[in-house]
Structure 1
Amino acid sequence: MSKIDKAEVKKVWDAFDYNGNGILSLAEIDRAVIELYPQLAKDKPAIMRAYKAADTSKDGFIDFNEFGRLLDLLFYYDELYKMFQKLDKNNDKRVSYVEFKKGHELMGINVKSDADLKKAFNEIDTNHGGYILFDEFCIYAAKKKLNSRS
């Protein structure tokens, strides 16, 4: 999605803010995404991640000042989620080491040895659960400035 001007942001804001109270709840965001951006609606983890990241005030709502960031992040995390799904071959919402080993090039990870690959996997798997979760994948992507279109 390209940057949109302030008037267009206000128009989209009005479509998101169903109850007109000047703040967006997660329910309003989810509903608006389903109606306005149906191509994003199936990627609930991406919507949740964008919502949390855009809520810079940490009050549980998105205000108008945070809204432009939310729009950008909805599309960014949707792209990351698509990449994550390519890695997650068995669709269990997590990436095992075997799946990572087969698809790590998608993430721009080029290593020479299995030991280096395992080290990279462990760096991303921050909770050390033996799988890469979408949140961990996003944190890694932000650190590496991973671009899903590369």
Structure 2
Amino acid sequence: MNRYLEKLNYGKEKPGELNEDEFVKFWADLYALFDKIDKNGDGYINFIECCQYLLERKMKHQLSKNDLMAEVKKFFNKVDTDRNGRITLTEFFVKLPDLELQIINKKL
């Protein structure tokens, strides 16, 4: 095993640094969420899939459909950087901090 992997396996040297297990779990969780939203399995999240996923959470957080649609539109405008009507895993990952803020602020 090389020194880099040994360092990952034996702990963190800096606060906020991920070890190997945490890194793998982060990516597995991220991909699982993306895959859960991507209902048709084509490797992209389209507007409808995003709405469907969030509609499942609408009742839990007492959002109206209009509030939900406004948030999805806002999110899509931020995340779909190439404006092709679908979100790739890369776009999703890059804009994840924005999504997290949106979720925290609106309780999606």
TM-score tier, shorter chain, comes to 0.5 to 0.7
Give aligned-pair identity as a percent: 23
Most deviating of 95-104 and 131-140: 131-140
TM-score relative to the length of structure 2: 0.60
Aligned residue-pair number: 87
Contact 2:54 2:68 in 1 (8 A): no
Task: Name structure 1 gaps, 5 residues minimum.
Answer: 1-13, 23-62
* Larger relative contact order (Cα-Cα within 8 Å, sequence gap ≥ 6): 2
Equivalent position to 2:32, from 57, 74, 82: 82
Q: Which residue of 2 aligns with 1:51?
A: none
TM-score relative to the length of structure 1: 0.46
2:55 counterpart of 1:100: no
Equivalent position to 1:118, from 69, 73, 79: 73
The one-letter code sitting in structure 2 at the alignment partner of 1:112 is D
CA RMSD of aligned residues (A): 3.3
The one-letter code sitting in structure 1 at the alignment partner of 2:86 is Y
Q: How does 1:1-150 map to 2 (within 5 A)?
A: 14=1, 17=2, 22=3, 63-64=4-5, 67=8, 69=18, 71=20, 72-104=22-54, 112-143=67-98, 144=100
Task: Name structure 2 gaps, 5 residues minimum.
Answer: 13-17, 104-108
